[in-house]
Structure 1
Amino acid sequence: MNNPAAPDHAVPPAQGSLAHWLAGHGAVASDMGATLLSLIEPLNLLAAIKSLATGRYVFASPGLDRLFERSESSVVGSVDNDLMRAEEVVAMRRVEQAVMAQRSVTVSEHRLELGGRRREFTVTRAALGTEFVLSVWQERTEERHRESHLQRALQQLEQQQKALEQIRRELQQGSGRDEVSGLYLQAQFDDALLREIDLSTREHREFALVIIALDPAPAAIQALGEEANQRLLEGMGRMLRANTRAMDAACRVGHSRFAVLLSGVGLATAHARMEQLRRQCMAQIIVLNGQDMGLSLSMGVCSFPHTASKQDELWNASEAAVHEAQRRGGNQVVLASIPFGA
């Protein structure tokens, strides 16, 4: 006869493991706490459970022993006063009291002096029943250092941009150019456009007219006021001056609008050049008060003679294409339609 199958026996959790702690405190650890802890331990994050009655840690991830340099003794059984400075302990207790009072998950930032070095942590806490609190630690020290270095670099870039714009304004005084963008005024641009129409008509060649509109800035940028708009206009001027040839022309035609004349260029080439410019502008860093504001553009491109052959018709075609780009959500280049007919 076959022997009956031996009954299954659950393997007891290892002494000192998180599963062992839960087994001994099942009445205390809520379902939420058990779920959170079962996720935390396999990921080897810094996690701890503290008894509020005694203030002592009843569970601590191995990483916390290393963090607090507890090579001979464990964080388990310790109180915060054994591990941290007095002001750090006060900050920890204040957040723990808020967690227990509100009965909600709370995220807080803490700076600890460990081994002569300041280290920064994000600590997420949740109540386990009424007597214990779970804390999950994530170190942010290196991330904060990178953010600090980036902020200093942005501040330096902002100072350089301001200095360069001031020098440009001083150099172009009396030159008849727009003071903010450094580009042609519209009267000069209109003259250049008329000459291009005449030349292209006589030589049977193409050129392109592009109208560029700054897309509405996010609310956070708009809150910075007119100075933010001026920085964006200055940045747009720098980009157009750097990306137009000597035979081209660029001007500011409105509060947040620009026009570009691309001499001897067909519609397809003009589209490719403006798409490249749009991408470059997106990558351009324009800084105000240490904040990168970004530069998003809508562009409308028309060509002579395929789209239109008269000055006002060219303007109207480019404007219609800009409106279409904005209607589609902005930050794109739209070609003006080519009329077919008599």
Structure 2
Amino acid sequence: MKTFSQIIGQKRAVDFLKRVISGDRVPHGYLFTGINGVGKSTAALALARAVNCTSDTTGDGCGRCITCRQLSSGNFPDIMSVGPDGQNIKIEQIRELNRGLNYKPVSGRFRVTIIERAETMSEEAANSFLKTLEEPPQGNIIILKVVDQRDLLPTIVSRCQRVPFNPLNRDVIKGYLVEHHNQDESTAYLAAGIADGSLGRAIEICEEGFLDNRRELIELLIGLFDMPGDQVVETAIGYGKKFSKKGQEDKSDIDLYGVTGIWKTCLRDLLLVKVNGNCDMIENRDYRERIQGLAARHDADKLIEGFFLVDSYQRDLLRNPNTGLLMEKMLLELKMLSS
């Protein structure tokens, strides 16, 4: 059962949606922006419940009417979802969507259509979708989910009500992991730091195996500083192949977003120690002595460059690049900075 009250740390977005829904005229197009794992999907389903519930006045759905029961069981017929078929949302998918939107809602007051990763629409698909967005058939609400609105056509953005979902505060994520996922304070703090504002990502991090892989990756980053050039190239190619072959459905190993998150915490620790010599605030406390040693050997400007280099690669991931090639390039560029 997805409701607005379940969304953590997004009060402004939730209050705005409740206020709009309670009005006489509900916008037909919404653009939910923000990184993955901050509540966009939950908000989309909560909106579907709120606009279709037959008894509720609070904005969260009554939980008892037939619509709420159908939504809770996943059997509500008036929710549609479109996402990438391979790398892109194709024109054929949008044409099929357009045909479906022409029918009246089956059960509810509104049909709610969710466009996952809307930025992956091909040019043809985007232009076709724009026509639908300009004048959708009555009884339809369309929600586009995207990390950054700049990846969409400006004409699509201008026809939607934008609702930003911000990265979550680290303490909010930590508290949620401790209270709802039985994590100890230390693990929750570390996971929240690696997740970089994403509650969904933090929950994944706490799954079995992720934090064990963290040690291997920190050892790789630390070892990179002293690794011979030819070995760096060999290592980069090996890890590049590993991430190229890794399927998205494989949860047994860490993904590249997790790699960059872990390396950012490590580089931040190095900077903290380099700048003020204080180890009390570092995240990777089990690497305290090695971090102190490395910080003493490296220039602060180079460490800052390294941090922003990894951060830029992490942001590039949101546009779904070739992860294997990206891993190779990142390792080689980090080595060049440390030389």
TM category, shorter = under 0.3
Name the structure with the higher helix share: 2
TM-score normalized by the length of structure 1: 0.20
Higher relative contact order (CA 8 A, sep 6+): 2
TM-score normalized by the length of structure 2: 0.20
